[in-house]
Amino acid sequence: MFLQVKGDVMDKYKCSICGFVYNQAKGFPVDGVEPGTPFDSLPFDWVCPVCGAQKKDFRKQKLT
Ligand SMILES: [Zn+2]
């Protein structure tokens, strides 16, 4: 049985358009997003730093 809390920080979200991966553990400091920021906590108007896609265009990735 996995600990659900532990999985959250390690989750990654991939842009379905350009392939950019948002790593919650690392955040995105260049864009003012601090490490450990959950994808769901990103600003509503946050967009992919590479192609400008909206949050809805990102897909959650499972660690294998
Ligand atoms: Zn993108």
Q: What is the pLDDT of residue 7?
A: 52
Q: How many domains does the chain have?
A: 1
Residue 63: which pLDDT band, with cuts at 50, 70 and 90? low
Beta-carbon count within 10 A of 58 CB: 22
Amino acid type, 24 = Q
> Rounded to an integer, what distance in angstroms lies between the CA atom of residue 59 and that of residue 8?
14
49 lies in which domain range? 4-61
* Residue 59 Cα to ligand 1 middle (Å): 11
**Does residue 3 surpass a pLDDT of 90?**
no
Q: Which residue has the higher pLDDT, 57 or 2?
A: 57
Q: Do strands 21-23 and 58-61 pair parallel, antiparallel, or not at all (unpaired)? A: unpaired
Q: What is the pLDDT of residue 36?
A: 92
Q: Please, which residues have CB within 8 angstroms of residue 2's CB and are 6 or more apart in sequence?
A: none
Where residue 39 sits, what CATH number does that domain have?
A: 2.20.28.10
- 26-48 confidence digits (pLDDT tens): 999 998 999 999 999 999 999 99
* Residue 5 Cα to ligand 1 middle (Å): 27
**Does residue 62 surpass a pLDDT of 90?**
no
